[in-house]
Amino acid sequence: MITPTKEWLKTFKETNGALSVSEAVAIINIAAQALEGHYLELGTYKGKSALSAVVGLKQGWFGLVDPEFKDKEWRDEVAVKVSLCADDYNNNQKMIELYIETFADYSTNIIPIIQTDFSYVFVDSGSHQDGLPMQEVKLLEDRMVQGGIIAFHDYKNQFTEVEGAYDYLVSTGKYEPIEINWQEIFDYVAEHGLENGNNSWHQYPELPHPPNFVGALRRK
C-alpha cells in the first residue's frame, strides 16, 4: 500500500474539500494502478482528490475540470498546488513528468473535445444528481483504454445516482470492479492518527466516519 508523506498530509489537510484521509489513500492506490497516459478529473474543486491522484499516477497528462476555474485566482491556486505536489513526487521519487492542465467548464462539454482515450478518470462533478453521473459515464464508456480506470467519489452514500452510474458500467460487461482493501486503509490511518485535523468531512455526522465513499472500475 502506498502511503503519503507528512509534507503531503499537511498540504492535503490545509486544502478545503469533503475528502477523508482514508479516501485519499484509496485514491492514491487506485491511481497507482492506472497505465501511463492521459488522465482526467471531473469536479476538482480545491484539489484534494487531485493531490491524492498525483501521488500514484505515472507519466502523462492530467486534465482538471471544474466550472469554478472561471475564477482565475481559484484556478491558479489549484493548478500550482497540484503541480507542485506532482513535481515533488515525480522528481524526487518516480523521476517522471506529469503535465497538469485546467479546464474552466462543465464535464459534459470537456469530455467530447479531448481527442484521446483515457487511462484514469476520477468522477466527482456537480451535485451528483439530475442525471449528470449517467451522462458522464456514457460519454466515458468507450473512451477508456483497455485496463483504464474510472473512479468515483460519493459512491454508496446518499448520492444514489453515482452508484447507478457505476452499476451501469458493470452491466455493459466492459468494466469490472477494483477491490479496495478498506480495512487495511482504516487500520493504517487509525494507527497513525491521520484523520486528525482533517475536518472538512464532519459536516455529515450521520454518515460513517471516516467516510469511505470511493469506488473504482477497470476497463476489461
pLDDT of residue 166: 98
Superfamily per CATH, domain 6-219: Vaccinia Virus protein VP39 (3.40.50.150)
pLDDT of residue 165: 97
pLDDT of residue 86: 86
**Poorest-pLDDT segment among 21-35, 37-51, 62-76, 186-200:** 186-200
Confidence of residue 167 (pLDDT cuts 50, 70, 90): very high
Q: Where are the domains of the chain?
A: 6-219
**Poorest-pLDDT segment among 94-103, 138-147, 157-166:** 94-103
From 53, 28, 49, 23, select the one nearest 39 (Cα to Cα): 53
pTM for the model: 0.94
Question: Percentage of the chain surpassing pLDDT 90?
Answer: 79
Res. 134: pLDDT tops 60: yes
200 vs 64 pLDDT, higher one? 64
From 114, 130, 115, select the one nearest 64 (Cα to Cα): 114
Are 111 and 67 in contact by the 8 Å Cβ rule? The answer is no
From 97, 77, 93, select the one nearest 5 (Cα to Cα): 93
Average pLDDT, the chain: 92
* Distance in angstroms (rounded) separating the CA atoms of residues 21 and 195: 6
